[in-house]
Amino acid sequence: MTEAATTGERILDVRQIPHQQRHEIIPRLFDNLQPGQGMQIVVDHDPRPLKYFFEAVHGDDCQWTYLEEGPELWRVQLRRAA
């Protein structure tokens, strides 16, 4: 995991992590964010199922923004509502 130079957000590149582990790690990291904090994830496919998970579990508390949308790389910002 690295820090984004301009935002201070953590960047988690999960492309080399098995899918099952991704879906355990990402929600746990989000749960540790304070209100107003964010993180970015980098994946090799559209993480739409993860988006639906966050909508179902966190509702409006999770703000989801696509920063890059493929075709080979997707970057998503997850931010906990302030």
What are the pLDDT digits (tens) for 3-26? Answer: 554 557 899 999 999 988 988 999
Could you give the dihedral angle defined by the CA atoms of residues 22, 75, 53 and 8, in that order, rounded to the nearest 10 degrees? 80
Bigger pLDDT: 82 vs 25 = 25
Which phi and psi (to 5°) does residue 20 adopt? -60, -40
What are the structural domain ranges in the chain? 2-80
Report in angstroms the alpha-carbon separations of 49 from 5, 9, 22, 23, 55.
Answer: 28, 23, 12, 10, 10
Task: Give pTM, 2 decimals.
Answer: 0.83
Q: Tell me, which fold does domain 2-80 have in CATH? A: Translation Initiation Factor IF3 (3.30.110)
**Of 66, 63, 55, 65, nearest to 80 (Cα)?**
63
